């Protein structure tokens, strides 16, 4: 599986969009300060949205699409399924 994910610093805070084939590993890298200098600088660690794909090209295409979206659209996407902006990383198995 491949995942497109959105991290947030807080509700309506700084957003980061990424793609990976190992979500748990990638989140651990971010939290250890190894994943991205942007994430480390802005404290963007809360997993607020995840989408899964069977093929890497689909995930990459979706990541690029989301990165082009207006901020309001991204917030609406997050709040549609996660209105409380909970950290979804606790739900990963």
pLDDT in tens, 68-84: 999 999 999 999 999 99
Residue pLDDT, tens place only, 12-28: 999 999 999 999 999 99
What confidence score (pLDDT) does residue 54 get?
97
Sorted by where each begins, the domain ranges of the chain are 2-91
pLDDT at 93: 60
Beta bridge partners of 15: 8
Superfamily holding 2-91? GIY-YIG endonuclease (3.40.1440.10)
How far, in Å, CA of 15 to CA of 72, rounded? 11
Q: What is the Cα–Cα distance from 73 to 51, expressed in whole angstroms? A: 16
Instruction: Decide if pLDDT at 92 tops 80.
Output: no
């Amino acid at each position: 599986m491949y995942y497109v994910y959105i991290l947030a610093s807080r509700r309506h805070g700084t957003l980061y969009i990424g793609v990976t084939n190992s979500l748990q590993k990638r989140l651990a890298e971010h939290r250890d300060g190894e994943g991205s200098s942007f994430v480390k600088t802005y404290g963007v660690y809360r997993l607020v949205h995840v989408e899964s794909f069977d093929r890497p090209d689909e995930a990459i295409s979706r990541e690029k699409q989301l990165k082009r979206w207006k901020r309001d659209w991204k917030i609406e996407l997050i709040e549609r399924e996660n209105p409380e902006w909970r950290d979804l990383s606790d739900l990963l198995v």
